[in-house]
Amino acid sequence: MLQPVRSYYLEHKTIFEENFNIVLQSFDMEAIHKMRTTTKRLRALFQLIQFLSPEQFKAKKQLKNVRQVFKHAGKIREVQIEQELLILHKNLSDDSFEAYIEYLKQREHREISAFLKSIPAVSKRGKILDDEKILSTIDSIPENTKNEAQRFIDWKAGQIHKLNNLPVSDHRIHRNRTYIKQLYYLFDILTYLTGQDKILNKNSEQLRDIEQLIGSWHDLINSTQYLQSFFNAIKGEKTAEYLAYKKIITAEKNSKQDEIINILKSL
């Protein structure tokens, strides 16, 4: 039995279920955020379990019941971040962006409504996580899995290197973030299993800093997309204020992208 894997699963399963029950009773943004983060951690763990026990376990099956909930939660978060970015960058008057602010609020309310509608359906399906299957698989994994854990790291590193040898694209940078974030989430387990103190020649904090940098870049990508969606929705003319805001966002995005590409190529 791999106790660190078992403990990690039980910890994050508990956090997920506690916050799911909170949201089931009433809307709570903090609980939604914790659900979403914990789902990402569990998804990374399930990939590792499948890698260590490929004949017994299929990672994708374990979270299929919350896939739609997770998607809506992500959309809520994206709109909220765009509202925060707008406030952060505005040396622009509120009046200039009143219509855009209202558009974002409407988008947020629409995503919240879709999220809340999806919750009862998930609850009615019964148990979200198959404890018996997950725990029995974990308990069947041999203690000595050093080589297999190293191959898991090498697999993720290989995916990162493969992406970075292809032409740069928003999608590929974002995929890099997913792989790096998964290694960060599993850092303590993987270093315990392999006996290493670093992954990709980085410690835990360094991996977190890289994935957060890519996350802040991705927020700016979303910002330009929301701005374009707004203009498509109102069929309006882009004013000087909006164009200035887009220029600021684009410049920040390009600056971060250059930094990110240099970091990724060094991994």
227 alpha carbon, distance to own chain's centre: 22
Q: How far apart are CA 207 and CA 178, in angstroms?
A: 11
Model confidence over 163-216: pLDDT tens digits?
Answer: 999 999 999 999 999 999 999 999 999 999 999 999 999 999 999 999 999 999
Main-chain dihedrals φ then ψ at residue 199, nearest 5 degrees: -130, 130
Yes or no: say if 267 and 184 are a contact pair by the CB < 8 Å rule. Answer: no
Q: How far apart are CA 210 and CA 212, in angstroms?
A: 5
Model confidence over 47-68: pLDDT tens digits?
Answer: 999 999 878 788 888 888 788 8
Question: How crowded is residue 224: how many other Cβ atoms within 10 Å of its Cβ?
Answer: 15
| pLDDT over 60 (residue 149) | yes
Q: Classify residue 110 as exposed, middle or buried by CB count within 10 Å of its CB (0-12, 13-18, 19+).
A: middle
CA-based nearest residue to 120, from 10, 14, 26: 26
Angle (CA) 75 261 215, round 5°:
20
Model confidence over 221-262: pLDDT tens digits?
Answer: 999 999 889 988 877 677 788 888 888 899 999 999 999 999
Yes or no: say if 180 and 160 are a contact pair by the CB < 8 Å rule. Answer: yes
For the chain, the distance separating the N- and C-terminal CA atoms, rounded to the nearest angstrom, is 32
Angle (CA) 109 225 233, round 5°:
60
pTM across the whole model: 0.90
List Cα–Cα distances, 135 to 5, 6, 131, 145, in angstroms.
10, 7, 6, 17
Domain ranges of the chain: 1-142, 144-267
